[in-house]
């Protein structure tokens, strides 16, 4: 299995100029899946070929992977769960799928998720790091993009479900600001934390996709100015591996050399507090959001059953205390980001852990997810063994366009920086 991502920017240009057609694109998608998915296992179900080879909108027929907790009309939403094995076809698209269809993307099928987007892994392999986990819970979408099956795929994030698999698989991702688009038609875990995500080969591709989705300018089309960056090392959490720390340090050196203003992030303690508050909020809300599944806990994986039971036993006082930590964190981060453009930090503790029995640790995303801020994972770094190491940028609330502009700038200066 090889990793050969499919450039969205190149594809859109080829469609625009007539060098390829939507019918040819769909054929390429099908052929790539047929060649790679017996080993990769990124897909739960493929959609029927589109009745019309074309599609209106700036993306003009781009095939789109959709994580299998997100409804696509006519396809079942099984959520990677045995208790949903007999689910019937969804009657309508989720709101976020409708939005992507309006931009010209065509849902090509459902990609593998962990059970209800929690920890129990699916069967998907990592095309960029064979024998290592692709991460969770948007594992199918990340792997499908990394393997060049689709140029664009949807995910969701409640803890680190988009950022972590992007880092492990060596692709780019965007987690949108919480509440940026409705979650109607998405089987969620935590209303305060669930956010939409999207994965592509590069940050530049994500900028193009975001412009198509929102009608804003393409922030990846030009290099832009050097950003003002706060560097968060994650050291206070005690999980960042030497390879990731070395990669982050080398990345900072490269950014300074390229003209970026780079200063230390002054709130390591605050991030640690938010990281502790996040799982309290998540468990409390998951027990209520997934009450029907809690009643059938003996049919769930042990990690999910434990989450729901923990949440059911969490007091309202503890939940409110955790929410107050988040509220204080929002005020503090907003003050810092009034003088800087982004926070830069590790996207995962290190490269993808070996084996498919677990999905890795989302701890480095918990604080930012609690705050509901947009984040972008940027590829381009590797460890000594050649395994992908992603870094993440955290931006201002509803500042996705600017965030992706800065992510594109960073990506262009990082690519190849640590290859030797």
Question: Is residue 204 among the annotated active site residues?
Answer: no
- Does the annotation mark 161 as catalytic? yes
Q: What is the DSSP string of 327-354?
A: HHHHHHHHHHTTT-SEEEEESSSSSPPB
For 366, phi then psi, to 5°, come to -60, -45
- Length reported for the chain: 420
Sheet holding 375-382, edge to edge: 43-46, 106-111, 63-67, 152-157, 195-200, 172-175, 375-382, 388-394, 342-346, 228-231, 261-264
CA dist., res. 132 & res. 167, Å (int): 12
Residue of 137, 139, 195, 301 marked catalytic: 137
d(CA 309, CA 283): 8
Instruction: Please pick, among 138, 139, 141, 161, the residue that the annotation labels catalytic.
Output: 161
For residue 228, give Cα distances in angstroms to 147, 259, 294, 375.
33, 9, 46, 16
Beta strands at 375-382 and 172-175: parallel, antiparallel or unpaired = antiparallel
Q: Please check whether residue 124 is in contact with residue 70, taking contact to mean a CB–CB distance below 8 angstroms.
A: no
* 173 labelled catalytic: no
Residue 384: C-alpha distances to residues 88, 118, 246, 351 (Å): 47, 30, 11, 10
From first CA to last CA, the distance across the chain in angstroms is 23
**Closest C-alpha to 95, from 15, 11, 185:** 185
**What is the rounded distance in angstroms from the CA atom of residue 46 to the CA atom of residue 49?**
9
3-state helix, strand, coil in the chain (%, to 5): 40, 15, 40
For 135, residues 6+ apart whose C-beta sits below 8 A from its C-beta are: 126, 142, 160, 161, 164, 165, 166, 167, 168, 169, 348, 352, 359, 360
Q: Which residues contact 29 (CB under 8 A, 6 or more apart)?
A: 63, 108, 149, 150
Catalytically annotated residue among 67, 110, 190, 204: 67
Residue 317, SS3? helix
CA dihedral 403, 409, 410, 412 (to 10 degrees): 140
**Residue 93 CB neighbour total at 10 angstroms:** 21
Residues carrying an active site annotation = 67, 137, 161
């Amino acid at each position: 299995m090889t990793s050969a991502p499919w450039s969205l920017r190149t594809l859109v240009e080829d469609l625009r100029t007539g060098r390829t057609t939507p019918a040819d694109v769909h054929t390429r998608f099908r052929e790539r899946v047929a060649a790679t998915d017996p080993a990769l296992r990124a897909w739960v179900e493929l959609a029927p070929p589109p009745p019309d080879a074309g599609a209106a909108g700036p993306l003009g027929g781009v095939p789109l992977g959709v994580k299998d907790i997100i409804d696509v009309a006519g396809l079942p939403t099984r959520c990677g769960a045995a208790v949903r094995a007999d689910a019937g076809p969804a009657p309508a698209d989720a709101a976020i799928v409708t939005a992507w269809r309006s931009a010209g993307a065509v849902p090509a099928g459902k990609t593998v998720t962990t059970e209800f987007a929690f920890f129990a892994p699916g069967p998907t392999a990592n095309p960029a790091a064979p024998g290592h986990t692709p991460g969770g819970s948007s594992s199918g979408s990340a792997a499908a993009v990394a393997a060049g099956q689709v140029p664009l795929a949807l995910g969701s994030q409640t803890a680190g479900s988009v950022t972590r698999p992007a880092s492990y698989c060596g692709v780019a991702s965007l987690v949108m600001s919480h509440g940026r688009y409705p979650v109607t038609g998405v089987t969620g875990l935590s209303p305060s934390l669930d956010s939409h995500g999207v994965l592509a080969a590069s940050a530049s591709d994500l900028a193009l996709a975001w412009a198509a989705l929102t009608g804003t300018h393409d922030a990846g089309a030009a290099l832009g100015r050097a950003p003002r960056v706060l560097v968060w090392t994650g050291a206070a959490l005690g999980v960042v591996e030497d390879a990731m720390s070395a990669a982050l340090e080398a990345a900072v050196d490269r950014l300074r050399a390229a003209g970026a203003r780079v200063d230390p992030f002054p709130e390591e303690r605050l991030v640690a507090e938010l990281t502790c508050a996040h799982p309290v909020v998540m468990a409390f809300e998951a027990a209520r959001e997934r009450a029907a599944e809690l009643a059938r806990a003996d049919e769930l994986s042990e990690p999910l059953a434990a989450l729901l039971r923990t949440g059911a036993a969490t007091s309202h006082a503890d939940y409110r205390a955790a929410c107050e930590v988040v509220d204080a964190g929002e005020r503090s981060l907003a003050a810092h980001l009034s003088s800087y453009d982004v926070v830069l930090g590790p996207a995962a503790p290190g490269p993808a852990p070996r084996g498919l029995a677990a999905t890795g640790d989302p701890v480095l995303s918990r604080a930012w997810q609690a705050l509901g801020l947009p984040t972008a994972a940027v590829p381009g770094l590797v460890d000594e063994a050649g395994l992908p190491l992603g870094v993440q940028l955290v931006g201002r609330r509803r500042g996705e366009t600017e965030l992706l502009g800065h992510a594109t700038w960073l990506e262009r200066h990082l690519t190849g920086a640590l290859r030797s």
